[in-house]
Amino acid sequence: MSFDVPDDHRYLESHEWVRTDDDTARVGITDFAQDELGDVVFVELPAEGDDLTAGEGFGVVESIKAVSDIYAPVSGTVTAVNEALFDRPELVNEDPFGEGWMLDVTLADESELDDLLGADAYRDRIA
């Protein structure tokens, strides 16, 4: 099976993605992750203003198969939460890189992006 892996994103080995726009990073889980989880039925996310630390858990995705922690690909302060996921968690399955995004974060240290996988390395990881 072939999974969508956008070239302009960076990835954690635990299947979270980040896409940056200046000093803001949008965060979600990958197409591979949502496929492995199955139908997502609940998403727990931090509040705006919360601080994240790269590599640490920030929320939970619950599916019909499992409950999985979500890890922060970068450190920073949450500036937006995709509240649509609270009413429609299935957006994570339907459009993980679009409408299924989870958080916007103001980057604390842009150099952390260098520690993440590029698209080719992530493709190799899930192949």
Digit-by-digit pLDDT tens for the chain (127 residues) are: 799 999 999 999 999 999 999 999 999 999 999 999 999 999 999 999 999 999 999 999 999 999 999 999 999 999 999 999 999 999 999 999 999 999 999 999 999 999 999 999 999 999 9
pLDDT at 6: 98
Exposed/middle/buried for residue 3 (C-beta within 10 Å: 0-12, 13-18, 19+): middle
Between CA 120 and CA 35 the distance in angstroms is: 19
Structure-block tokens of residue 58: 């920030």
pLDDT score at 124: 97
CATH of domain 12-126: 2.40.50.100
pTM score, two decimals? 0.96
Residue count of the chain, please give it: 127
At residue 1, the pLDDT reads 73
